[in-house]
Amino acid sequence: MRRGDLDDAAAALQRAIDSGSPSIVAQAAYDLGCLLEEQGDIEPGQVPVPVLVFHGGQDRMVPSGHGAWLAARCPDAELWLRPDDGHVSVLGSCGVAALDWLVSHA
């Protein structure tokens, strides 16, 4: 991946945030995440931007301790642990608030 690709994706995310449309923001954030994933393994301590980690306490696929571990290792992370949510239901309980968080940290 070229640096320009990442810059273009970040600019697209900013335009999406400026549009005020949660669905456009979600798609742009997903696209940026896919580009970052192509980079291979990235150490959490090397993430240069604010990170929101939200995790369901009833998640049967990924223990909530993994979310806490990740948040503790990112330089600028916030952990939202939702004790009553599972792996997918956490998206419904804090998805809109997470998009608001994203906009406030843009």
Beta-carbon count within 10 A of 19 CB: 12
**Per-residue DSSP letters for 59-86?**
-SSS-HHHHHHHHHHSTTEEEEEETT--
Q: 70-83: per-residue pLDDT in tens?
A: 899 989 999 999 99
What is the structure's pLDDT at 78? 94
3-state SS, residue 16: helix
What is the structure's pLDDT at 80? 93
Q: What is the DSSP letter of 47?
A: -
**Can you tell me the mean pLDDT for 56-65?**
87
**Can you tell me the mean pLDDT for 60-78?**
89
- 25 pLDDT band, cuts 50/70/90, is low
What is the structure's pLDDT at 1? 47
- List Cα–Cα distances, 10 to 78, 80, 95, 99, in angstroms: 20, 24, 20, 15
Rounded to an integer, what distance in angstroms lies between the CA atom of residue 19 and that of residue 17? 5
Whole-model pTM: value is 0.62
